[in-house]
Amino acid sequence: MITIYCFSGSGHSLAVSKELAKLLDCEIRPIDNKTTTEDAAVVVFPVYCQNIPKPVKRFLKCLEAKHVALIATYGKISYGNVLYEAQKLLRGQVIAGAYIPMGHTFLDGDYEFDTAQLLPIVQRIKMPQQVTIPKTAKNPLANIFPGLRSRIGVKIKKEDNCCSCGLCETNCPVGAIRNGRIHSQCIRCLRCVTNCPQKALQYKNGRILDIYLKSYCKEEYVLYL
């Protein structure tokens, strides 16, 4: 049995997970902190500041699967070294890895990805064979307070049309929002912004972040099979 586990804030990783679910004819489950036992698992998650999101780190340590495929989506800037780091957290055998370029969480606009790039991953999952994911380049500053940097770079504001439905609090993966107010544990996944039915939560990038996001863009698919 194959299960896809997905962590997604603004929908990019979920879009990849849905395509994989069609190709593998399997279900998608949200990443949580429960110990999970599977024969084969596909873990799909975004890259945040060249790091693995905290909820995903916790999940990988709990996952008990014989075979695991790791797929990291990134915002066309840098994927850092997250697949290598994720591999080190797992107990099971890694059979595939991929970096998939998608839209950036902090940039508006449509995004597309080449679904054909998923086909070799699907074949490897069906015929598992161990693969070793190598280290890749990572900015030496990436591990220095990444959460704080994202909170400084991106501000989330509650608008007057908030209806206090509590959906943002329910959906937050780190419990960092109450009544539409963000506190210091926020990882800026923007799940609250994306899923607010009233569009009462809005975000704004700082000037330095905007300059950085416009600095360069790459669409590099990297597969480890």
Give the CATH number for residue 193.
3.30.70.20
Residue 109 shares a structural domain with residue 153: no
Cα 160 to the chain's mean position, in Å?
A: 30
pLDDT at residue number 110: 65
pLDDT at residue number 219: 83
pLDDT in tens, the chain (225 residues): 899 999 999 999 999 999 999 999 999 999 976 777 789 999 999 999 999 999 999 999 999 999 999 999 999 889 999 999 999 999 999 999 999 999 888 887 667 788 999 999 999 999 999 999 999 999 888 888 888 888 888 999 999 999 999 999 999 999 999 988 898 899 999 999 999 999 999 999 988 888 888 776 778 999 999
Domain that holds residue 169: 146-212
Instruction: Record the pTM.
Output: 0.93
Residue 91 shares a structural domain with residue 166: no
In one letter, which amino acid is 19? E
Residue 8 shares a structural domain with residue 50: yes
pLDDT at residue number 109: 66
Residue 63 shares a structural domain with residue 162: no
Residue 180 shares a structural domain with residue 131: no
Cα 153 to the chain's mean position, in Å?
A: 19
Residue 177 shares a structural domain with residue 89: no
As for how many domains the chain has, the answer is: 2
Residue 122 shares a structural domain with residue 156: no
Cα 110 to the chain's mean position, in Å?
A: 17
Residue 81 shares a structural domain with residue 150: no
Give the CATH number for residue 121.
3.40.50.360
